[in-house]
Amino acid sequence: MSLWNAKSVNPDTVTPAEIAEIAADFFIDLNAAVPDDFLQPGQTYHRHGDTFRCAAVGMRFSSLPDSRPAAIGYLPVNIGGESTWEFAMFDWLAARGWTKAEA
């Protein structure tokens, strides 16, 4: 069972193998190239006051006639008064509107 449904994760301790397991659950090929204007691993993005830390990108294959870029990463959450992170995934359409945070 992957970490996908974990209520709380520490992005600094999640391993590449755990990210790969989540990608496999969602039929995301992490070795496939994504468009340059898509979300990028290691970057943080903002949209409407939300934050997304991108961990990995690839192409998501589904029953649709074509594949789509997809990103796996983290969104901040507040659980019992404590700030933590949970996993999130965005595909090409859901990634619209996110802007890269300035360093």
Q: Is the per-residue pLDDT at 73 higher than 70?
A: yes
Q: Is the per-residue pLDDT at 95 higher than 80?
A: no
Residues 6+ apart with CB under 8 A from 15: none
Q: Could you tell me if 51 and 76 are in contact, meaning their C-beta atoms sit under 8 angstroms apart?
A: yes
Higher pLDDT, 66 or 61: 61
pTM, entire model = 0.88
Reported as a pLDDT band with limits 50, 70 and 90, residue 66 is: confident
Backbone angles phi, psi at 22, to 5 degrees: -65, -45
- Amino acid identity for residue 47 in this structure: R
Alpha-carbon torsion angle 77, 53, 23, 15, nearest 10: -90
Q: How far apart are the first and last CA of the chain?
A: 35
Q: Is 102 exposed, middle or buried (0-12, 13-18, 19+ CB in 10 A)?
A: exposed
Q: Average pLDDT of 20-28? A: 93
